Amino acid sequence: MPKSGSVLLLSGGIDSAVCLALEVKAGRRVIPLFFDYAQPQLTTELARAEALCEYFCIESPRQIPLPPLGHNNFDYPMRNLIFISLAANMAFRYDVGKVITGIRDSIYLDTSYLFIHIASGLTATFTNDGIEVRHPIFWLDKQQVIRKAKHLGIPFDLTYSCIRASSPCGECPSCKERKKANV
């Protein structure tokens, strides 16, 4: 019988908030994970991730401290593979069958289709129970994600997107996306 529940990568952004809401509203168990990798926006991201869990009445995110992953201003080589590997380890230990990420198709190497195909294949093949990695919003663009977030009733003030600072810089791609979408 397939195992139910998931370990979900929660950054406090709109993408991972949508993934969280989809699981909670479907009545499935979620174990949220938050990674501290010395990102400049750490304190606000963590506060929003905690607020989202409280809003959806689930346990607080489990915080995973990592060494700093940044390299040359906001480049985080292999970040998503590190996150998925640790989440798969946790999914195995907590006896849930899935890892869920809010990765969407974009210009970064570790958000490409090739990356998720290989990362999902590795995880399914090299865990004893075949931990499944799901990327439910991979093919959605930001406007579609925002529409979904509104439909799911996610309060945007409980999410945070800036990738440069703990208060919105207004200039990074994530801040610009939010401004364009008026959220």
Strands (DSSP E) found in the chain: 6-9, 30-36, 62-65, 98-100, 132-134
3 state SS of 175: helix
Nearer to Zn ion, 123 or 174 (CB): 174
CB 159, min distance to Zn ion, A: 13
Nearer to Zn ion, 13 or 97 (CB): 13
Nearest distance from C-beta of residue 170 to Zn ion, angstroms: 6
x/- letters, 117..156, toward Zn ion (CB under 5 A): ----------------------------------------
Whole-number CA gyration radius for the chain: 15
**CB of 46 or CB of 53, closer to Zn ion:** 46
Find the shortest distance in angstroms from Cβ 108 to Zn ion.
16
Whole-number Å distance between alpha carbons of 125 and 129: 9
133 phi and psi angles, rounded to 5 deg: -105, 125
Smallest gap, in angstroms, from Cβ of residue 165 to Zn ion? 6
In this complex, which beta carbon is closest to Zn ion, that of residue 148 or of residue 178? 178
Binding mask 151-180 for Zn ion (x = CB under 5 A): -----------x-x----x--x--x-----
Q: How many residues bind Zn ion (CB under 5 A)?
A: 5
Cα angle vertex 88, ends 53, 51, to 5°? 10
DSSP state of 4: P
Six token digits for residue 19:
């993934």
Helix 142-152 to helix 14-25 angle (10° resolution) is: 40
List of residues contacting Zn ion (CB under 5 A)? 162, 164, 169, 172, 175
